[in-house]
Amino acid sequence: MRPAVADIVALFQAHFPGEPRVFRAPGRVNIIGEHTDNYDGYVFPIAVNMATTAAITPRQDRLIQVWSENMQELATLPLDGLERRGHWSDYVAGVAAMLEAEGITLPGADVCVASDVPIGGGLSSSAALEVSTAIALLSLVDHSLDGVALAKLGRRAENEFVGMNCGIMDQFVAVHAERGKGLLLDCRTLDYELVPLPAGEAAVVVCNTMVKHELGASEYNARRADTLAGTELLKAIYPEIRALRDVSSGMLEQSAHRLPEHIRRRCRHVITENQRVLDGVAALKEGRLEAFGDLMNASHESLRTDYEVSCKELDIMVEIARSLPGVLGARMTGGGFGGCTVNLVRPDRVTAFREEIAHRYHQATGLKPDIFVTEPMEGAREVV
C-alpha cells in the first residue's frame, strides 16, 4: 500500500509519538539490459508508480525501531549491535550500518514503512526500502550524500550486509529517475542519460506472474560467479579487458573453445545484452519502436537460454503477450525465477491486452496475475 502523507503519518502515530517527516522511493522496472550491471554494462530501467514510504522521527537513544505496515511487525535494531538476521529489517539495518561505516553517526529513530511495491516481485522492493530509509535516516543528521553516493550506499548495504551481490541498477534508478524518461546507465562510469519514452505511442505494462523469486538470491550469486569465472578465463587471452563490457561477440567466439560451455553462454548473454541496450536506446531516439520491441524479445530469449534465469511461468506470460495484438515487445524483468514481465504495448490495445493476458495466463497456470500500467516516475524524495 502507498499511503498518502496524512495516512502514513496516522500509521506512524499508531505506533510512535511525534510528527514525522516522510520520504518515498520508487520501485523500478527494467525495460532492457538485464544482468549486465555487475559486469560494467548498460541498463535502461524506469521508476514505477509504486513506492516505499518511510516516516521518521529521531530518538534519544541508539535504537532504530521500525514498524512495517506490510509485515505488521516491529523490529528493534540497536545501532551498536547491528547484525544480519535473515529478516525484512536487514535492509534497514544494512543501510544504517553502512551510513555509520561512512563515519555518519546516527541517532536512534522511530520509523514506519509501508510499500505497494510487490515483495519478491522483481520490481526491486528492496532498493525502494533501502533508499527510502537511507534518505529518512540522513534527514536526522547534518549530513547529505549526493545521488551517486546514496545509490552506492544502498548497494553496499545489500552486498555487504544482506549478502546479495546485486549491481547498482536498482538503487541508482530509485534515486535518479525522472518522470516520463528511461534511464540509460553506464554501470562502469555511472554516467547516465535520461531518454524520453513516447507515452503516446507505447505504454509500459507490467505483468506479475505471482511466482515469487525465492531461488533468486542463490541463483543470482551463482550466475554471477559463473560469469566472473568466464571473465577471468577471457582475461588470460585478452589481458586488456577489465570486465565483460570490454569483450565483443567476435572476441568471445574466437575464444569459445577455452570456456566451459555453460560459462560461454553466461558470458554471451551479458555481451549481447549490452549491445541490445545500446541498439535499443538508439532505436528509441529515432522513433523505431518495433525495433526496440524486437530487442526486448531477443533479451528474453537470451535470458531464457543463455543466462538461464527465466522460469515456466515467465515464459508462458511472455509467449501469451507476444501473441496479442499491439504488443511491441515482451520480456522477463529483474533478477528472474519468477516476478514480473515488462511489455511495451500500443496504447489503444492496452485494455484488451490486460483482459486477455489475465484470462489466458490464468487458464494456463491457474494463477491470477496482477497487471498494471505505469508511466516512468520520479526518483526518491521527501514528500510533504
Residues of this chain that interact with ligand GLA (CB under 6 A) are: 30, 34-35, 37-38, 124, 166-167, 169-170, 334-335
Angle at which helix 312-322 crosses helix 350-365, to 10 degrees, equals: 140
Given the residues 40, 170, 226, 306, select the one marked as catalytic: 170
Residue 127: closest CA among 384, 330, 380 = 380
| DSSP conformational letter for 337 | S
How far is Cα 327 from Cα 331, in angstroms, rounded to an integer? 11
Least distance CB 119 / ligand GLA (angstroms) = 13
Nearer to ligand GLA, 35 or 354 (CB): 35
User: Which of 38/139 has CB closer to ligand GLA?
Assistant: 38
- Closer of 110 and 130 to ligand GLA (Cβ): 130
Residue 217: CB minimum distance to ligand GLA, A: 10
- 170 as an active site residue: the answer is yes
Select 59 or 276, whichever has its Cβ closest to ligand GLA: 276
For cell 538485464, the residue is 34
Q: Taking the complex as a whole, how short is the minimal distance between the CB of residue 154 and ligand GLA, in angstroms?
A: 10
Chain residue whose CB lies nearest ligand GLA: 166
CA angle, residues 318, 353, 121, in degrees to nearest 5: 50
- The minimum distance between CB 281 and ligand GLA, in angstroms, equals 16
Find, among 357, 338, 365, 371, the residue nearest to 121 by Cα.
338
Q: Which is nearer to ligand GLA, 106 or 151 (CB)?
A: 151
Helix axes 90-101, 147-156, angle to 10 degrees: 120
Question: CB of residue 130 vs ligand GLA: minimum separation in angstroms?
Answer: 11
Q: How many CB atoms lie within 10 A of CB 61?
A: 12
Between the CA of residue 274 and those of 36, 40, 115, 225, what are the distances in Å?
7, 10, 32, 19
Q: Are strands 63-68 and 109-115 parallel, antiparallel or unpaired?
A: parallel
Active site amino acids: 170
